[in-house]
């Protein structure tokens, strides 16, 4: 047995363990004395109108939409009335606008070009929720770095990513764009994206500025309905929703985007508590804040402003620096400053922050890009997309068929495979939502890749679409059933459309759209073993499928190399390594269901809490018609091998809370992990804690560390984690971020629902 020890300081997220050494961009690059001096020198020469112009962000393709200035974007740029443009995504477009700014304006201040580069620019990787399922921070950083290289070659030096909203409601379509329900993992992912986008130096032509969004609480929209209001206590805001943003700021993110929702009755784009108190005063954020699309104008719809002047005034005084598409800052700020309603110092601060980012990016020295530059290595991008997809797939079921798990599939000559379903050959859907400049012609579908593999290995492949994604017709069922009856195994590709998730794509139901489940049931009646691949941008509630199929593989929307990645996984050339970053409900009636919830006084079961009801008690928190537990819990994911865990090993059974709080001591915990199967495999080992006896109730479990470890068959390793102030502190009853005395329970487990805890006494 080989034995190795790994120690992780959890809040800093095992960076040294998981990825090659890579320095982050220096936050001082956009806040240092030289950068600030250059910005101040330019600021001193600007008129009031030119200052307001720097705060004005237009869309290249919608600059004449509702509320638009009567002049077109070109005329406004030439007058120095535009500081940033979004949706100009090619070198020809960005250069054209940039020439107007650099050649026709008095001060020659370059335009900052932004685009929603969410999971790739032209090379499209798995959707962010899928990428988060890799639990591989180095890989996520690599995808962001590649996307930055492709985007920057087109003059796009700013991405509206990462989206770091915590999302506990799968009805919300934008759950696809984030990292799921956990603030610890979400913080690690936020850091990885920022490092990838911004690189080591911001003035590197291949670097782009990151924008953490949506600040804050957007993922808590009531009813899962996009843009809806939120109701979040300050403690929950600080413990759950703010940490990923804090991590992004700490990693050096240059910009923040405020959200659409209201927080405690105040729209996020005019919320001084979040934008000034938390972001600027507590976190010392030195970048600039951008509004979301027309959100400043929408403060009037929210009801806190009756006119455009008041909307602009409230937003800039609260801490907004740039106005995306409302065009209210450029039209209203000169008058507001002239009247004294907005101090000139506040306007100058916003302009200074924007100018510093432009200076740090090197835009003044290099405002243009080559229009005929060779693309970033497309084969390297495709290989990275395939690797990311393979690591993102989550194997949720793998039952026995003829005495062995059905996956990986045998690939013997003459073996008959039926490929069925509306997503088996749909290239566009594999890109998912927010696919930037991705093109469906770049996608290799499951059908294409499986056809190639079948031809290579002498297998026989039949294909039947069966139905449309949201179809009602059963005219294709008969062909699908015939294909399944004549096959050794049926691979079904079912799920949502690639655009069923994303912005303004909320759903009230979480089952398979259309008549896809009826198709699945019809195929199941043939008795042919079924491998179900689910494509989606959100957790889908599929309890019937979970019970009846032989294998269930969650494929998300995997990107341009979807087909090859899936085929390699199905046949065992690669192993499924993904682990859930969001709980999957049994039904929509359970929503929200998430692992790190607070306990009730009458839980269904709790072996730790004294006085908890005994198993089988009637008056407990639950449903009459459904289990309380999710269909699949946070962290769950199978491999093609098995792993065993030893009991948790503690460095101490008692520690002083005050010494931990002062940074004087840390608790070491460990476990032995063994690959007990016959194949090599990768396990994501997860560390959870629970605190009891504290001044406020704490979640029943909280993720506080994780390590991905590859083990050969039969190999074992000892893994260690380190817990200190960053992992054990919380916002207590006095709203202080502090470690309190109490009982600490620690799990080292394969997911959030398994494992046996060890107890530590946290003394005063």
User: Where in the chain are the domains?
Assistant: 1-19+641-764, 382-570, 596-629
Helices (H) then strands (E): counts for the chain: 24, 30
Tokens of 665: 């001591």
Residues 6 or more apart whose Cβ sits within 8 Å of residue 230: 217, 218, 220, 221, 222, 261, 262, 263
pLDDT given at position 68: 42
Write the pLDDT tens digit of every residue in 76-100: 999 999 999 999 989 999 999 999 9
Whether 181 shows a pLDDT value over 80: the answer reads: yes
Tokens of 414: 């003459």
pLDDT given at position 402: 87
pLDDT given at position 23: 54
- CA-to-CA distance for 584 and 594, rounded, in angstroms? 8
Burial class (CB in 10 A: 0-12, 13-18, 19+), 174: buried
> What's the CATH number for 382-570?
3.40.50.1700
Beta bridge partner(s), residue 322: 290
Whether 18 shows a pLDDT value over 50: the answer reads: no
Write the pLDDT tens digit of every residue in 613-660: 998 898 999 999 999 999 999 999 999 999 999 999 999 999 999 999
Whether 17 shows a pLDDT value over 50: the answer reads: no
- CA-to-CA distance for 230 and 214, rounded, in angstroms? 13
Beta bridge partner(s), residue 463: 419
State phi, psi for 748 to the nearest 5 degrees: -120, 115
3-state SS string over 710-732?
A: EECCCCEEEEEEEECHHHHCEEC
Write the pLDDT tens digit of every residue in 258-270: 999 999 999 999 9
Beta bridge partner(s), residue 394: 554
Write the pLDDT tens digit of every residue in 580-617: 999 999 999 999 999 999 999 999 989 999 999 998 89
Whether 102 shows a pLDDT value over 70: the answer reads: yes
- CA-to-CA distance for 255 and 278, rounded, in angstroms? 15
- CA-to-CA distance for 435 and 497, rounded, in angstroms? 13
pLDDT given at position 310: 98
429 is known as an active-site residue: no
- CA-to-CA distance for 436 and 151, rounded, in angstroms? 10
State phi, psi for 16 to the nearest 5 degrees: -65, -30
pLDDT given at position 73: 83
Q: What is the largest CA-CA distance in the chain?
A: 83
State phi, psi for 249 to the nearest 5 degrees: -65, -45
DSSP-derived letter for residue 123 is S
CA 627 to chain centre: 28
Sheet with strand 460-464: strands edge to edge: 394-398, 551-554, 530-535, 489-495, 416-420, 460-464
Burial class (CB in 10 A: 0-12, 13-18, 19+), 515: buried
Contact 52, 329 (CB under 8 A): yes
Whether 523 shows a pLDDT value over 60: the answer reads: yes
DSSP-derived letter for residue 9 is B
The answer, yes or no, to whether the previous bond of 588 is cis (omega within 30 of 0) is: no
DSSP string of 18-58?
A: HS---PPPPGGGGTSHHHHHHHHHHHTT--HHHHHHHTEEE
- CA-to-CA distance for 396 and 378, rounded, in angstroms? 32
For residue 243, the tally of other CB atoms under 10 A from its CB is 19
CA atoms lying within 13 Å on the CB side of residue 327: 16
* b/e map 286-323, b = 16+ CB within 10 Å: bbbbbbbbbbbbbbbebebbeebbbbbbbbbbbbbbbb
Contact 406, 399 (CB under 8 A): yes
**Which CATH superfamily does the domain covering 1-19+641-764 fall into?**
Immunoglobulins (2.60.40.10)
* Identified catalytic residue from 182, 290, 292, 429: 292
Whether 19 shows a pLDDT value over 80: the answer reads: no
pLDDT given at position 71: 53
Whether 10 shows a pLDDT value over 70: the answer reads: no
DSSP string of 348-395?
A: HHHHHHHHHHHHHTTTTT-----TTPPPS-HHHHHHHHHHHHHHH-EE
pTM of the model: 0.96
């Amino acid at each position: 047995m080989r034995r190795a020890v790994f120690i992780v300081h959890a809040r800093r997220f095992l960076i040294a363990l998981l990825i090659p050494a890579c320095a982050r961009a220096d936050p001082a690059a956009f806040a240092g004395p030289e950068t600030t001096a250059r910005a101040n020198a330019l600021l001193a020469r600007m008129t009031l109108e030119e200052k307001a112009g720097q705060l004005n962000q237009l869309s290249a393709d919608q600059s004449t939409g509702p509320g638009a200035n009567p002049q077109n974007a070109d005329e406004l740029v030439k007058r120095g009335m535009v500081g940033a443009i979004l949706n100009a995504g090619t070198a020809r477009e960005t250069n054209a606008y940039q020439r107007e700014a650099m050649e026709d304006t008095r001060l020659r201040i370059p335009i900052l070009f932004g685009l929603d580069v969410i999971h790739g620019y032209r090379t499209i990787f798995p959707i962010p929720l899928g990428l988060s399922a890799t639990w591989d921070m180095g890989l996520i950083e690599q995808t962001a770095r590649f996307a930055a290289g492709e985007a920057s070659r087109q003059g796009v030096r700013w991405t509206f990513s990462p989206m770091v909203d915590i999302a506990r409601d799968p009805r919300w379509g934008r759950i696809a764009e984030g990292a799921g329900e956990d603030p610890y993992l979400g913080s690690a992912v936020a850091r990885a994206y920022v490092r990838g986008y911004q690189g080591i130096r911001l003035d590197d032509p291949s670097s782009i500025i990151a924008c953490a969004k949506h600040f804050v609480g957007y993922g808590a929209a009531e009813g899962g309905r996009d843009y809806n209001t939120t109701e979040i206590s300050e403690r929950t805001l600080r413990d759950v929703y703010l940490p990923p943003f804090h991590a992004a700021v700490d990693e050096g993110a240059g910009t923040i985007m405020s959200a659409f929702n209201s927080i405690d009755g105040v729209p996020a784009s005019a919320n001084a508590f979040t934008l000034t108190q938390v972001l600027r005063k507590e976190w010392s954020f030195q970048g600039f804040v951008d509004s979301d699309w027309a959100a400043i104008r929408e403060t009037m719809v929210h009801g806190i402003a009756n006119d455009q002047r008041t909307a602009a005034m409230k937003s800039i005084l609260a801490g907004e620096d740039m106005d995306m598409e409302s065009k209210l800052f450029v039209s209203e700020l000169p008058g507001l400053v002239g009247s004294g309603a907005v101090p000139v110092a506040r306007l100058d601060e916003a302009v200074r922050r924007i100018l510093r980012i432009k200076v740090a990016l090197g835009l003044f020295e290099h405002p243009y890009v080559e229009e005929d530059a060779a693309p970033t290595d497309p084969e390297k991008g495709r290989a990275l997309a395939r690797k990311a997809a393979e690591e993102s797939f989550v194997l949720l079921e793998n039952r026995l068929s003829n005495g062995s798990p059905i996956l990986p599939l045998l690939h013997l000559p003459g073996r008959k495979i039926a490929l069925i379903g509306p997503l088996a050959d749909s290239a566009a859907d594999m890109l998912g939502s927010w696919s930037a400049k991705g093109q469906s012609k770049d996608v290799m579908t499951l059908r294409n890749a499986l056809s190639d593999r079948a031809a290579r290995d002498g297998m026989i492949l039949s294909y039947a679409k069966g139905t449309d994604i949201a179809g009602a017709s059963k005219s294709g069922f008969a062909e699908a059933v015939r294909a399944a009856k004549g096959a050794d195994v049926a691979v079904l590709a079912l799920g949502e459309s690639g655009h069923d998730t994303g912005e303004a794509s909320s759903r009230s139901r979480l089952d398979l759209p259309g008549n896809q489940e009826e198709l699945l049931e019809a195929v199941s009646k043939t008795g042919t073993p079924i491998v179900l691949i689910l494509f989606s941008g959100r957790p889908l509630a599929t309890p019937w499928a979970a019970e009846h199929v032989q294998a269930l593989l969650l494929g998300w929307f995997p990107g341009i190399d979807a087909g090859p990645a899936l085929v390699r996984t199905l046949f065992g050339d690669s192993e499924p390594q993904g682990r859930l970053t969001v709980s999957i409900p049994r039904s929509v009636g359970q929503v929200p269901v998430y692992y790190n919830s607070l306990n009730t006084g009458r839980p269904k079961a709790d072996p730790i809490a004294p006085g908890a009801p005994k198993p089988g008690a009637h008056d407990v928190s639950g449903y009459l018609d459904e289990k309380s537990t999710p269909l699949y819990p946070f962290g769950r994911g199978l491999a093609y091998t098995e792993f065993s865990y030893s009991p948790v090993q503690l460095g101490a059974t008692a520690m002083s809370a005050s010494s931990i709080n002062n940074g004087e001591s840390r608790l070491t915990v460990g476990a032995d992990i063994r690959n007990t199967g016959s194949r090599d495999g990768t396990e994501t080992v997860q560390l959870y804690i629970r605190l009891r006896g504290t001044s406020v109730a704490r979640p029943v479990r909280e993720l506080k560390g994780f390590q991905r470890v590859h083990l050969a068959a039969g190999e074992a390793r000892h893994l260690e984690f380190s817990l200190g102030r960053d992992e054990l502190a919380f916002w207590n009853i006095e709203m202080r971020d502090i470690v309190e005395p109490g009982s600490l329970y620690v799990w080292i487990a394969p997911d959030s629902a398994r494992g046996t805890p060890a107890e530590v006494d946290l003394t005063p």
